[in-house]
Amino acid sequence: MNDLKFSGEICEKCETFDCLTRCQYLKMDLKTAKEERHRLLRGEESRVLEECVTCYACEEYCPYGNHPFYHLVDQQEKLGVWPVPQPITKQQVLMMAPRGKITPKKVQPPVINMCYFPMLTGSIRGKLFDGASTIVGSDIFCNVMWLHFGKNSVIRQRLPEMIANIWDHYLKDSGVNELICFHDECYGTYTHLAPAFGIPVPFKPIHIFDYLNKKLDELKDLIKPLGQKVAYQRSCSNRLVPETQPWVDEIFQKIGAERVDRKYDRENALCCGAVFRAQQQDDLADDVQKRNLDDMAAAGAKFCVFSCPACLFTLGEPILKRGIMPILMNDLCQIALGEGMKGG
């Protein structure tokens, strides 16, 4: 059921070994990468399975779109190489379980999928989201987070149900076909992960940046250029959809923000560190966060913009302590539109 579209043949023929040698965390030379690839393809234990920090980046690095990361997570689960202590994983699986309390409701476009972040529904306001409907909750949660826990089985089990919930309870009877994904993770799930696992998606996912870009075009007369230097914190799930990156530049250009040129951006982006803590690697989390924040500060950033709420929750406070304002992309756009932020 839901077999992964991963080809061992393609992987075996690959001469780049980008998935392993470009990894920012494994620090692997070509010779070791070759050895470990063989082990992985033979279904054997490998230090890659043990040491992978689950940053998703190899999905982006693979030149063939062969899903090396999804395969790796499948192997972790098959061999019981758990990235996170078992009680934590089990508890998280229970914590994020669908409550089964969804009730059908009519929605009108644009429909904003807030994933499982009910505390952020207040962000859907102002001219950018005029007339929007929001959907949110455990019963529409994309569940891609289990990639961090070696638990593709949970994704395979829950994701089809979540997709059906969105379609059957909200979109279908409302005659709506498009779903704006507020969180990178949802967009990555529906456009990248679901097809890789052969899970059909009956609606058209729209990335929040794509949506914002078009709205900013509509509202361009109202924009007051920010004239601010802004760092962008790329999320792990954005590795699944690197095609969204130019939209960040377009948005920044439209709102008069300067995307600061820094070391840890784009393909070289660093993880927010939350997952390292779940993996009990606080030292790594501290180190990565420090490097990332030093980099933002050195580049002169006044804002750090996020697309992932989980990254914002993780890095928000340390960033603020460095004198940089953490902010979601839509809130930054709202400032440019003169709508300000709540309470200010």
Return residues touching other proteins (CB under 8 A): 82, 84-88, 90-91, 94-95, 97, 274, 277-278, 280, 282-283, 286, 313, 316-317
Least distance between other proteins and beta carbon 154 (Å): 14
- Measured from the CB atom, the residue of 160 and 316 that comes closer to other proteins is 316
- Measured from the CB atom, the residue of 249 and 287 that comes closer to other proteins is 287
State residue 325 phi and psi, 5-degree precision.
Answer: -90, 115
Query: Are the CB atoms for 269 and 289 separated by under 8 Å?
Result: no
- Measured from the CB atom, the residue of 183 and 259 that comes closer to other proteins is 183
Least distance between other proteins and beta carbon 135 (Å): 22
Least distance between other proteins and beta carbon 44 (Å): 20
Assigned token pair, 61: 């690095």
- Measured from the CB atom, the residue of 128 and 315 that comes closer to other proteins is 315
The Cα 226–Cα 269 span in angstroms is: 24
Least distance between other proteins and beta carbon 77 (Å): 13
Least distance between other proteins and beta carbon 107 (Å): 28
- Measured from the CB atom, the residue of 267 and 282 that comes closer to other proteins is 282
Least distance between other proteins and beta carbon 86 (Å): 5
Least distance between other proteins and beta carbon 318 (Å): 10
Reference 97, options 150, 141, 149, 151; nearest CA is 141
Query: Are the CB atoms for 255 and 336 separated by under 8 Å?
Result: yes
Query: Are the CB atoms for 133 and 108 separated by under 8 Å?
Result: yes
Residues 6+ apart with CB under 8 A from 244: 184, 187, 207, 209, 210, 238
Question: To the nearest 10°, the Cα dihedral for 306, 310, 312, 315?
Answer: -120
The Cα 315–Cα 296 span in angstroms is: 12
Please give the C-alpha separations between residue 321 and each of 73, 101, 213, 246, 283, in angstroms, as whole numbers.
Answer: 35, 39, 30, 29, 19
Query: Per-residue DSSP letters for 265-286?
Result: SGGGPPP-SHHHHHTT-HHHHH
Least distance between other proteins and beta carbon 79 (Å): 13
- Measured from the CB atom, the residue of 19 and 52 that comes closer to other proteins is 52
Whole-angstrom Cα Rg for the chain: 20
- Measured from the CB atom, the residue of 112 and 278 that comes closer to other proteins is 278
How many angstroms from the chain centroid is the CA of residue 107? 25
- Measured from the CB atom, the residue of 39 and 277 that comes closer to other proteins is 277
- Measured from the CB atom, the residue of 29 and 45 that comes closer to other proteins is 45
Least distance between other proteins and beta carbon 313 (Å): 6
Please give the C-alpha separations between residue 50 and each of 67, 106, 209, 254, 332, in angstroms, as whole numbers.
Answer: 18, 46, 35, 44, 39
